[in-house]
């Protein structure tokens, strides 16, 4: 089959790879009809290069049609239309039964000290072949796969795989009081949904992003938008009686603009020999912390900072003085996708499209064009906000 593979930092290519086969009784094989590129793929593209191996199949936002199931699969049947959550979880362990599916004890990548295995996500998360491909093997298919109806287009459902539940969890963790205020940093696909979910829940929502078309898109959905920089911060503080918003969702993560030293570290890290690169990741602060520091500065005293953006360094400096003095609560983590499906399914199927899932994708390109698509999404050229790759199976 054809699949998007990581080759070296900043270089992905579409190659012939073996078709996936059933390996365990609980597996299913899904024929992919739509598969998106995520901001998390951009981390793998460069900075997390030391954890990638040439030929790794990328992708963790996919949906399609079940082709084949193992003997242990009873709920899902061949022919079912399904969305594949990016976190691989069993549904039965101590963590899963407490709604912490991204910490699943059955799939945890213990040799790396990581949480649940993820599709297409480097050695750190189990090196499981990903969904930017014609076919995908899905472990624990009965629990994981989200079965959906046949009538609505893929774009309605696809984002149940990652960014919709991630944004939802980010806003739940932000714990905004009823009628309160929320600021979202970053208006990539994840920030778009976090901000819209805030509006949907009746909060006053502010958002910051340096890219004009991303601000315009959010403004169409009732979000008050600002450019990066001190004016936006001041305006949001003014609008919240000088205190700052009740909560901030950081939907940027470690690719933040405005951290020139860490940017250089990023570039060096991605290109170091593997062992040296991994060592450096473990000992040097590689995160570009501009957005995280803005979150801490902006949130009101006693408020909550909810990190949805992924950070990856183990030695990134944090302003503990402000964090302690301002009495800030922090929540973060990979999304527990299956915890939020029941909340989100009615919203994506609602004819009124309350979260605007049909107003996000700017580019639908053939899977074969993945290399150009990655560059387009990373550089934000051509108004690119979200790319869906099409393996030609619809």
Ligand X SMILES: NC(=O)c1ccc[n+]([C@@H]2O[C@H](COP(=O)([O-])OP(=O)(O)OC[C@H]3O[C@@H](n4cnc5c(N)ncnc54)[C@H](O)[C@@H]3O)[C@@H](O)[C@H]2O)c1
By CB under 6 A, residue 49 contacts ligand X: no
Please identify, using beta-carbon distances, which residue of 76 and 387 lies nearer to ligand X. 387
Look at the block and give the residue holding tokens 């000992």. 283
Q: Could you give the CA distance from residue 394 to residue 392 in angstroms, rounded to a whole number? A: 6
Partner from ligand X, Zn ion, none contacting 376, C-beta within 5 to 8 A by type: none
Instruction: Identify the residue among 20, 120, 144, 191 touching ligand X (CB under 6 A).
Output: 191
Within 224-283, the residues that bind ligand X by CB under 6 A are 228, 251-253, 255-258
DSSP per residue over 257-296, as a string?
SS-HHHHHHHHHHHHS-HHHHHHHHHHS--SB-HHHHHHH
Please identify, using beta-carbon distances, which residue of 20 and 259 lies nearer to ligand X. 259
Q: Could you give the CA distance from residue 17 to residue 20 in angstroms, rounded to a whole number? A: 9
Q: What's the min distance (Å) between Cβ of 100 and Zn ion?
A: 9
Contact, 118 vs 85, CB < 8 A? no
Please identify, using beta-carbon distances, which residue of 263 and 271 lies nearer to ligand X. 263
- Give the containing element (helix H, strand E) for 184: strand 181-185
Please identify, using beta-carbon distances, which residue of 37 and 82 lies nearer to ligand X. 37
DSSP per residue over 95-110, as a string?
TGGGT-GGG-TTT--G
What is the phi/psi pair of residue 213, to 5°?
-70, -25
Within 323-382, the residues that bind ligand X by CB under 6 A are 334-335
Q: Could you give the CA distance from residue 329 to residue 304 in angstroms, rounded to a whole number? A: 5
Torsion over CA: 384, 386, 391, 394 (sign):
negative
Contact letters (x/-) for Zn ion, 67-106, by CB under 5 A? ----------------------xx--x--x-------x-x
Q: How many residues bind ligand X (CB under 6 A)?
A: 35
Instruction: Identify the residue among 10, 70, 210, 383 touching ligand X (CB under 6 A).
Output: 210
Contact, 191 vs 164, CB < 8 A? no
DSSP per residue over 20-69, as a string?
P---STT-EEEEEEEEE--HHHHHHHTTTGGG--TTPBP---EEEEEEEE
Q: What's the min distance (Å) between Cβ of 363 and Zn ion?
A: 16
Partner from Zn ion, ligand X, none contacting 335, C-beta within 5 to 8 A by type: ligand X
By CB under 6 A, residue 287 contacts ligand X: no
Binding range to ligand X, per CB under 6 A, among 129-137, 160-168, 175-183, 215-223: 160-168
Binding site for ligand X (CB under 6 A): 38-40, 42-43, 162-163, 166, 185-191, 208-211, 214, 228, 251-253, 255-258, 290-291, 308-310, 334-335
């Amino acid at each position: 089959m054809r699949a998007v593979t990581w080759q070296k930092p900043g270089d992905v290519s579409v190659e012939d790879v073996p078709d996936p086969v059933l390996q365990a009784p609980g597996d299913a094989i899904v024929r992919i009809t739509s598969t998106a590129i995520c901001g998390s793929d951009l981390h793998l593209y460069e900075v997390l290069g030391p954890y990638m191996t040439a030929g790794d199949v990328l992708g963790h936002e996919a949906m399609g049609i079940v082709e084949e199931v193992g003997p242990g699969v009873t709920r899902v049947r061949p022919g079912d239309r399904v969305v594949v959550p990016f976190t691989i979880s069993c549904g039965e362990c101590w963590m899963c039964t407490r709604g912490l599916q991204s910490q699943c004890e059955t799939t945890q990548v213990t040799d790396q000290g990581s949480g649940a295995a993820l599709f297409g996500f480097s050695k750190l998360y189990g090196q499981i072949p990903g969904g930017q491909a014609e076919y995908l093997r899905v472990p624990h298919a009965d629990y994981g796969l989200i079965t959906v109806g046949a009538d609505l287009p893929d774009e309605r459902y696809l984002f149940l795989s990652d960014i919709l539940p991630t944004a939802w969890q980010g806003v739940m963790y932000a714990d905004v009081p009823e009628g309160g205020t929320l600021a979202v940093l970053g208006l990539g696909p994840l920030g778009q949904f976090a901000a819209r979910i805030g509006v949907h829940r009746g909060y006053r929502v502010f958002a910051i992003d340096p890219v004009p078309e991303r601000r315009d898109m959010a403004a169409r959905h009732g979000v008050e938008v600002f450019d990066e920089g001190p004016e936006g911060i001041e305006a949001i503080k003014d609008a919240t009686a000088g205190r700052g918003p009740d909560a901030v969702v950081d939907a940027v993560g470690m690719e933040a603009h405005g951290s020139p030293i860490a940017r250089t570290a990023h570039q060096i890290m991605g290109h170091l020999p593997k062992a040296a690169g991994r060592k450096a990741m473990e000992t040097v602060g590689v995160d570009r912390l501009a957005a995280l520091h803005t979150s801490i500065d902006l949130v009101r005293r006693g408020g909550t900072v909810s990190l949805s953006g992924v950070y990856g360094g183990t030695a990134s400096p944090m302003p503990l003085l402000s964090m302690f003095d301002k009495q800030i609560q922090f929540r973060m983590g990979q999304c527990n996708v299956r915890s939020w499906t029941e909340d989100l399914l009615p919203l994506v199927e609602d004819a009124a499209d309350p979260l605007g899932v049909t107003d996000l994708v700017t580019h639908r390109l053939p899977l074969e064009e993945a290399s150009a698509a990655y560059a387009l999404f990373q550089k934000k050229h051509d108004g690119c906000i979200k790319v869906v790759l099409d393996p030609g199976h619809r």
